[in-house]
Amino acid sequence: MHLWLSKTSDVPLREQITTQIMLAIVSGDLKPGHKLPSTRELARRFSIHPNTVSAAYQDMAARRWVEFRKGSGVYVRELHAMPTVDKKFQLDHIISTFLGVARQAGFSVNEIRSSVRQWLELQAPDRFLVIEEDPELRALLVAEIMEATQFPTVGAGVEACTDHKMLTDAAPVALYGMAEKIRTRMAPDTACLFLNARSIHKTLPIKELSQPDALVTVVSHWPDFLKWARTTLVAAGIDELALNFRDTREDNWQLGLERVGLIITESLTAKLLPKACQVWVYHLLADSSLDELNQFVERFLS
């Protein structure tokens, strides 16, 4: 498990640990069932107090990201994104039964194919529906999906899970971390595509950020982006004195940005920055999830 920790930062070590592990889970870097290092092992690796690691694990367990297995250790929890029944075999059985009944009724293969095609076209979703509680994060996900797929995309809170009108003609999607919350609210026969976030550890330009004279400004309208960026950057060893944070909801947030060094931001704020700025954009969704969405569009919506 890749982990950064900075003991000289004002950001608590427990927060550095929990933030990175949670982001690793939603990005797929840590898979369900993955065993985390023991409290003693992690404490020894970073020369920190075992109670710090224990508190971080307890916090994540309370938030249902990990689970303690008696006598075994701490594991990444399986978020029940999909029903446990093997849907492929169930669907194959339904289709096989349908075809048998239709042929016995005297319909030809061409008649069946034509009728099924017309029915699917009538039922095809006309938009993606992003289900997310955080409105700022929801807006970012909608923007990234629309840009990647060129397909209509709207957003809603978890209330959409039980809103038949919102779900009609929509293909629900959500971040993997929302899977359990959505599944407890949504009807079992309603499909929802769960997406992975992009890996922080694999994409963050550490070499550029670690240059002696590097000055980094993090800009966003999303408070959690600013918070997580600070936690991750200081954990990676970036000097806090070289970091600056701008909240676009505040007045004069653009002042002097063209004269700063590297700017880290997300896809929506990137469009508002002066063209002269050196910008590194963190796209929230993993390429694999964007590919999955495009395949969905090509297969079912084209």
Residue in the block written with tokens 């508002």: 272
Question: Angle, to 10 degrees, between the axis of helix 87-104 and the axis of helix 109-123?
Answer: 130
CA-CA-CA-CA torsion for 227, 231, 237, 239, nearest 10 degrees? 40
How is residue 70 written in tokens?
């008696």
Question: Is the model's pLDDT at 229 over the cut of 60?
Answer: yes
Amino acid at 171: A
CA dist., res. 138 & res. 208, Å (int): 30
Residue 280: strand pairing partners: 264
- How many CB atoms are located within 10 Å of the residue 77 CB? 17
Question: Is the model's pLDDT at 250 over the cut of 60?
Answer: yes
Over residues 263-284, the pLDDT tens digits come to 999 999 999 998 888 899 999 9
In this prediction, residue 76 carries a pLDDT of: 95
- How many CB atoms are located within 10 Å of the residue 154 CB? 15
How is residue 267 written in tokens?
């896809």
- How many CB atoms are located within 10 Å of the residue 23 CB? 20
pLDDT confidence band for 84 (50 / 70 / 90) = very low
pLDDT confidence band for 210 (50 / 70 / 90) = confident
Over residues 92-138, the pLDDT tens digits come to 767 877 887 888 888 888 888 887 776 665 557 889 999 999 999 99
Nearest CA to 174 out of 203, 135, 141 is that of 141
Over residues 191-209, the pLDDT tens digits come to 899 999 999 888 888 888 7
Residues whose CB is less than 8 angstroms from the CB of residue 229 and which lie 6 or more positions away in sequence, other chains included: 218, 220, 245, 264
Tell if the pTM clears 0.95, that is, is over it: no
How is residue 145 written in tokens?
């999906």
CA dist., res. 198 & res. 137, Å (int): 14
CA dist., res. 238 & res. 9, Å (int): 10
φ/ψ bin of 47: left (φ > 0), alpha (ψ from -120 to 50), beta (otherwise) = left
